[in-house]
Structure 1
Amino acid sequence: MATVSLLPKDRADLSQIMKVAEAQPARDAKPSLLGMTREELGQALADVGVEDRQIRMRTAQLWHWMYLRGAASFDAMTNVSKDMRAALAERYTIGRPEIVTEQISVDGTRKWLFRFPARGAGRPVEVETVYIPEEGRGTLCVSSQVGCTLTCSFCHTGTQKLVRNLTREEIVAQIVVARERLGDFPEVAANARKDAEGLLPSEGRLVTNIVMMGMGEPLYNFDNVREALLIASDGDGLSLSKRRITLSTSGVVPMIPRAGAEIGTMLAISLHAVRDDLRDELVPLNRKYPIAELLDACRAYPGLSNARRITFEYVMLKGINDSPADARELVRLLKGIPAKINLIPFNPWPGSAYECSDWDEIETFAEVVNRAGYASPIRTPRGRDILAACGQLKSASERLRVRERMALEAMIGGGGED
């Protein structure tokens, strides 16, 4: 969809607003079955006339086709009757976002720009999703929001204001479409892997791990992230172990216990500093939840053990946070927390004021942490040439001005959350 400016030069143009309003999808557009719980799928089946005694079995069929087989249409569901497929297709879809771009780095990293349709008075929105292939594993970095509220000073996504939360359907769709494009579903495996020209693992599942480390703060979209990750870890569908799913947060302390209790995945903390004054600058959320409070929440994380360690992410910024004294303080702060420390060489992006630490400094930092008994792998930068590396994601979606929103809501019928 072409982008239309609603208020050129800040002057309302009613005819132009009307054109944009008319271009929005209808409010009663077909809902997607992706992202629905089993109970909701059961209700959808009841709504198309499936008898109560068949709903459980038919729900399992739909679940199997969508998440195990990767069916993109009802026509593909060959063991479902034609009449039922037609009834479902009349009222529902198995939604897929538009793939605006697909880029492949020289190192095999892939980045997709997905466009999701407008909701309510909003515009279509775009998010980035990244796949990182490695020997014996493939990690999918999934976004939870369009933009971000946190304005972390070293992060490109933080320069984009929050547009809206992604729905659970949109979070699940990133996983499904990535697997589809990679050939990780049975029906498309042979052709997709052949097209990959050796840049994917040669055997086994291609998406073995998921990290909620894309655009946005997952714990500020808790309900949708929870439901999406429960679908991702469901043993009868996408079937990823919760130990292979990592939720990364900048430190929304009140939601951390709920994440452990209700989602139960691995936890990663974007720490990046060992002093509150510096973390206030790098991760402004620290002004609300300072380091001591954050680490107390980590110590109490449900299920924490040496087998289920918390990962602390630490971006290496030249002359900012990379001294041996910083490393020693990091060790002191984490005492008593089963932890792994990922050292992330800073990935540059246009307009950034930071530089990556020299390699010697990173290795010295890692040595201090290692000697204290913590694993501290240095993350190899991946996908830098396509701006797909950690901290580089950003889309062109922009939040509507208040006047634009009010005008569109008035034209469309008002009220929709975006």
Structure 2
Amino acid sequence: MNILVVGGGGREHALVWKIAQSSLVDKVYCAPGNPGIAAQAECVDIAVDDIDGLLAFARQQQIGLTVVGPELPLTLGIVDRFRQAGLEIFGPDRQAARLEGSKKFCKDIMAKYGVPTAAYGTFTDRDQAVAFIREQGAPIVVKADGLAAGKGVVVARSEEEAIAAVDACMLDAAFGEAGRIVVIEEFLDGEEASFIAFTDGRTILPLASSQDHKPVFDGDQGPNTGGMGAYSPAPVVTDEVHRQVVEEILQPLVAGMAAEGCPFNGILYAGLMVRDGRAKVLEFNVRFGDPECQPLLMRLKSDLVPVLQACVRGELDRVSLEWHDKAAVCVVMASGGYPGSYVKGHPIEGLDRAAAIDDLFVFHAGTGLKDGRIVNQGGRVLGVTGLGADIPTAIRKAYQGVETISWQDVHYRTDIGAKAVKR
């Protein structure tokens, strides 16, 4: 079988790496891919939002299964188009993808079906939003309703910062149409965790627990990013928290989506805040987390392809997941200046040396080629992922890899996994 993976980041590199190991697979294609992915798949120069181009390619190459990495093509309806053409594709359809495509839709569904989450208000009027902020006080969270590449959320420590975030959305149109509606939420305190599960619309099959690190600097300081590192398992997700998430969050949501006429089929990602052994939902995403995907797939013993197929076919109750006992830690190496502006095109040194380290894999995210050399091309550039008998060992392995790699102005956090060690 030929498989097409849509996307070109670290999550897609992890998917390609894992899928390529399957005995069911003849060839893996990735669109558009990146220089790291090219070692395991044939990269095809088709953009993730070129649905016509992707569909034509899938027909031409007799693709048996398409796996969608990023959220944008899902919200544009790639799954609907492929299904109409009789092609198997993994991911939610356009209606279900609104869980991530619209913060308002997501919050309204949670409120309707009793999923524990932060209290909130939604606004299309700037003055009403400001009045709500003044009434609630700070800290408070301001979110652009639509997709904003992981940058549309501001955790405001003061009312002024919250109002500035509203103005950026509504007056400055910093996120275009995505910021026309603003969701304002109560601030939830605690420890974040990521809970990711497969679902075919009925059966729920959870993956191992993981934890992301959103702020750009050590100690969770600085602006939010797409994620500066992740580890699995996450000790904050105890057996009791796991049970609560499945029974009080995922089951009501999956049942609610079906009741709304938009059953969810694919990967459901719950971003959680855990406090005193209870979880509330910060957000839902409709795809694998990035960088959580990298350590999770490093730990997954099972062949991924039959699980993806079972999901697509509504037969998820027929499969199970087996995990390696080892822990995994992914440290993101980013371009200096990210999540703000940064300089591209710096040659990356040390990738060959890192590749020679056992129990370590370097997933490429924002890399490109320039004069035959691999260079930094995006904000998050590499996901250096180490395996170990436990979290401290995996941390040492990941940072051993990080220390062998360098380029001008590289930035990374030095405390990925520290919360797990503290526990």
Scaled to the shorter chain, the TM-score interval is under 0.3
TM-score (norm 1): 0.22
- The structure where helix makes up a greater share of residues is 1
TM-score (norm 2): 0.22
**Structure index of larger Rg:** 1
- The structure where strand makes up a greater share of residues is 2
